[in-house]
Structure 1
Amino acid sequence: MKKAKLLAALGICGLILGACGAEDDSKYDTSTTEVSESEAVVKEPGLDELDPAVSEELSKMGTDEEIDWEKINFNKRQYKEYIESLDEQETDSSETGESTLTVVSSSMVDDNTIEIVINNTDASEMSELTNGFFAIMMDTFSRQLYLNSDYSDGTNQPTIIIKDNAGTVISEETDFIEMEETE
């Protein structure tokens, strides 16, 4: 008896769903079920599935140990996740909490362009210098990871744009930033 009621309820639900979906089926093309190879989505491992050797090398960032870049290769998904995760981390804060430099947003505009927007709550004369040094650090590390990713063709560098939250471009580079020597 219970089985019959359950089947009846499922049947009614099916009829209701069918009626709701029957409004205008003409706008949906269901005649092709074949998916071309270019449309097939390949599931690449994400950052949470990094090889332990890669994780070990990345953990050296910010230490005195040198990173062995030959051991690092990100697939496209991992690199994009890295860029998108930059705004989830505070990058510089003092013990007193007086000034903080954070990444407001970070994204890949296209396969060759990365845009990072920062906010520096420091209103002193040093904020411009801090922004500049931060831009160098972010550009260098993001660029090196890009070159060690499946986005890189080995010849072209990405354009990395770093702006403040007012929209002022701090840095827009197509190669590694080099410090100018003053005499």
Structure 2
Amino acid sequence: MNKIKLLTTIGICGFILAACGTEETSVNDSNTAEVAKSESIAVEEPGLDELDQSTTDELAKIGSEDEEIDWEKINLNKRQFKEYIESLDEQEATSEETLTIVSSSMPDDTTIEIIINNPDTSEMRELTNGFFTIMMDSFSRQLYLSSDYSDGSTQPTILIKDDTGNIISEETDFIEMEETE
């Protein structure tokens, strides 16, 4: 589980930030128990630490420019998906200048909320936030659609805020890049 979480966080943040943390962390037992208490999650569902090897292999590809993820091989149960989302904020930054995820949660079965801290005060702050938002939205949405939360047609709302409460993005479908000529 730590390997998947670490590779995922590094892959997503590494695209935007050159110095992502590599320190491993683990989901503590109380966090896992809290996730399992959700009404929509069966307590007997296996957690992230019980992923099969093919899913682990596909998730390890996150952030790799050379390998494409086969989303057909990924199917997380509700508990695994929620544990994954709630573990995104466990990656420790390697410097005070690194964009970090302050908190990540699922307030309900169709909403993912991510709060970030970007200490950059330059004109690049909005650009960095934008790229981070696109990456997090795309990956989180695709992972949601590959989980038992998905009914095959409903998209989750992915809400990304900064640590002062300002909404950076609130999307109900994949973010599409506008072409400029």
Structure 2 length normalisation: TM-score?
A: 0.74
Q: Aligned letter for 2:62?
A: M
Q: Aligned letter for 1:50?
A: L
Sequence identity of aligned pairs in percent? 74
How far did 1:89 drift?
Answer: 1.4
Cα distance in structure 2, aligned partners of 1:90 and 1:179: 30
Alignment of 1:111-126 (within 5 A): 111-126=109-124
Query: 2:178 matched to which residue of 1?
Result: 180
Cα distance in structure 1, aligned partners of 2:92 and 2:76: 23
Cα distance in structure 2, aligned partners of 1:90 and 1:134: 17
Query: 1:30 matched to which residue of 2?
Result: none
* CA 54–160 in structure 1, closer or farther in 2 if over 3 Å, else same: same
**Secondary structure of the residue that 2:134 maps to in structure 1?**
helix
Cα distance in structure 2, aligned partners of 1:119 and 1:127: 11
CA deviation map 1:17-70 (0-9, x unaligned): xxxxxxxxxxxxxxxxxxxxx9x9541000111001100000000002000000
Query: 1:35 matched to which residue of 2?
Result: none
* 1:50 matches 2:51: yes
Does the 8 Å CA contact 2:42/2:79 hold for their aligned counterparts?
A: no
Q: Aligned letter for 2:78?
A: K
Query: 1:164 matched to which residue of 2?
Result: 162
Unpaired stretches in structure 1, ≥5 consecutive residues = 1-37
Query: 2:22 matched to which residue of 1?
Result: none
Cα distance in structure 2, aligned partners of 1:112 and 1:98: 32
* CA 54–41 in structure 1, closer or farther in 2 if over 3 Å, else same: closer
Structure 1 length normalisation: TM-score?
A: 0.74
Alignment of 1:130-145 (within 5 A): 130-145=128-143
Q: Aligned letter for 2:122?
A: S
Structure 1 outlier segments of 4+, above 6 Å? none
Q: Aligned letter for 1:105?
A: S
Q: Aligned letter for 2:146?
A: N
**Secondary structure of the residue that 2:99 maps to in structure 1?**
strand
Bigger relative contact order, structure 1 or 2 (CA pairs below 8 A, ≥6 apart): 2
* CA 82–104 in structure 1, closer or farther in 2 if over 3 Å, else same: same
Count residues with an aligned counterpart.
142
* CA 182–80 in structure 1, closer or farther in 2 if over 3 Å, else same: same
1:71 aligned residue (57, 70, 73):
73
How far did 1:123 drift?
Answer: 1.1
